[in-house]
């Protein structure tokens, strides 16, 4: 079965892709982008629920867009004949299947947290169990193009970053690259309900989510170590990340405020220049000219916004408050995975990702 549109066959495409785990919110974003891709044919969507149902009967925005149906089969069988497999599986599940998928020769973009951390002991601490495939941690490249673009291009296996992690990393990356980021960094991150997944729970049920703010996993969220790892790789020194996530009455979007103290000798102009130079030419990261980042400006798109406010020195240090905003399902999830997929296939990384989203 192919991904042709009803009544209008697609032109021949160069690469074949499978999505494994396609019934969730991240899955539908992967599918939506792949159906419009000029060089990649979505050939198969695998799931353990809604098996046999048309994609459009589950994801209503896809009705009439494809003849594909959800299939149930072992992931290694689903990967046979594919150029790339995008894994939308839960943590701990993804890592169990990766070794067999590797044997098929398919490239892999994994959206779970299973291959983001290099240290299996840290994985055990934050994910609550032994890593299922620690021997393959070294085979994966962390898929943040704004830092690892060249490594991604040369890789076959990508660990796509988490949504909170991407937002924090982009907000703090210029400070890390300049070597200014040291000591404790405090972050508050606000997220929409879609980040909790498609299955309803007491804390995501609309009557208790709407009009409410609540924290969860304060100072122990699983994205903390991957952010610290990335910032150290970028040039940060002895950073200790203190992160408090907050669930908000939004469907899509993440907004972070990160508080860092740099040496007082670092001027406000130098800090702002660092942000400008770090993201110059980046297709999906922008620094608003007349305002600070906003969720509504990036929701529905693969764009991220960053900004910075710089205080006067005090006590030998200067407070820098960095802001970041993105759509948790796109730049924080499926869109970034497609961006990395494009890079490992040797394609323009912006393909199917250039739409600006909606307003308001």
Q: What CATH number should be reported for the domain holding residue 77?
A: 3.40.50.720
- 341 belongs to a structural domain: no
pLDDT of 26 > 50? The answer is yes
- 335 belongs to a structural domain: no
Whether 289 and 201 map to the same domain: the answer is: yes
- 57 belongs to a structural domain: yes
CA gap 73, 204 in Å, rounded? 31
pLDDT of 86 > 70? The answer is yes
pLDDT of 3 > 60? The answer is no
Last residue of a domain, one of 139, 173, 203: 139
Last residue of a domain, one of 123, 139, 155: 139
pLDDT of 199 > 90? The answer is no
- Assess whether the previous peptide bond of 305 is cis (omega < 30° from 0): no
Whether 119 and 229 map to the same domain: the answer is: no
pTM of structure = 0.95
Q: How many domains does the chain have?
A: 2
Share of the chain above pLDDT 70, in %: 97
Tell me the mean pLDDT in the region 132-144.
97
- 356 belongs to a structural domain: no
Q: What pLDDT is stored for residue 48 in this prediction?
A: 94
Whether 230 and 126 map to the same domain: the answer is: no
Contacts of 307 (CB under 8 A, 6+ apart): 275, 287, 288, 292, 293, 322, 323, 324
Contacts of 205 (CB under 8 A, 6+ apart): none
Catalytic residue among 46, 84, 85, 163: 163
Q: What pLDDT is stored for residue 186 in this prediction?
A: 98
CB neighbour class for 265 (10 Å; exposed up to 12, middle 13-18, buried from 19): exposed
Q: What is the full DSSP assignment across 261-306?
A: EEETTS-HHHHHHHHHHHHTT-TTEE--SSS---STTTTTSS-EEE
- 243 belongs to a structural domain: yes
Residues of the domain holding 278? 164-327
pLDDT of 9 > 50? The answer is no
Note if 269 is an active site residue: no
- Tokens 């304060």 correspond to what residue? 218
Range from 30-44, 161-175, 193-207 carrying the lowest mean pLDDT: 193-207
Q: What is the mean pLDDT of the chain?
A: 95
At 11, the pLDDT band (50, 70, 90 cuts) reads low
- 348 belongs to a structural domain: no
Whether 190 and 272 map to the same domain: the answer is: yes
Whether 107 and 179 map to the same domain: the answer is: no
Tell me the mean pLDDT in the region 69-86.
97
Q: What CATH number should be reported for the domain holding residue 268?
A: 3.30.360.10
Whether 276 and 133 map to the same domain: the answer is: no
């Amino acid at each position: 079965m192919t991904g042709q549109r009803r009544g209008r066959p697609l032109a021949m495409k160069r690469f074949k892709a499978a999505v494994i785990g396609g019934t969730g919110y991240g899955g539908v974003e992967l599918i939506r982008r792949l159906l419009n891709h000029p060089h990649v044919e979505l050939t198969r969507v695998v799931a353990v629920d809604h098996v046999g149902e048309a994609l459009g009967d589950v994801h209503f925005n896809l009705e009439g867009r494809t003849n594909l149906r959800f299939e149930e089969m072992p992931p290694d069988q689903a990967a046979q004949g594919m150029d790339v497999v995008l894994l939308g599986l839960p943590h701990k599940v993804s890592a169990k299947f990766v070794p067999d998928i590797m044997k098929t020769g398919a490239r892999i973009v994994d959206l779970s947290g299973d291959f983001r951390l290099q240290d299996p002991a840290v994985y055990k601490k934050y994910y609550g169990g032994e890593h299922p495939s620690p021997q393959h941690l070294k085979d994966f490249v962390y898929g943040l193009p704004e830092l690892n673009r060249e490594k991604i291009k040369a890789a076959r296996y990508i660990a796509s970053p988490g949504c909170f992690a991407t937002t924090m990393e982009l907000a703090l990356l210029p400070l890390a690259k300049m070597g200014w980021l040291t000591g404790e960094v405090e972050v508050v991150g606000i997220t929409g309900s879609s980040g909790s997944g498609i299955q309803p729970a007491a804390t995501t049920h609309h009557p208790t989510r709407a009009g409410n703010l609540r924290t969860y996993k304060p100072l122990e969220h699983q994205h903390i170590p991957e952010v610290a790892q990335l910032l150290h790789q970028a040039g940060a020194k002895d950073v200790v990340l203190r992160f408090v996530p907050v669930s908000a009455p939004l469907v899509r979007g993440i907004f972070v405020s990160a508080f860092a103290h740099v040496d007082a000798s670092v001027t406000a102009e130098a800090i702002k220049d660092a942000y400008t130079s770090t993201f110059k030419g980046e297709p999906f990261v922008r620094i608003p000219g007349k305002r600070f980042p906003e969720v509504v400006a990036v929701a529905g798109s693969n764009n991220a916004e960053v900004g910075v406010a710089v205080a006067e020195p005090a006590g030998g240090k200067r407070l820098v408050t960095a802001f970041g905003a993105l759509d948790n399902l796109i730049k924080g999830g499926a869109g970034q995975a497609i961006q990395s997929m494009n890079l490992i296939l040797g394609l323009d990384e912006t393909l199917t990702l250039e739409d600006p989203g909606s307003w308001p």
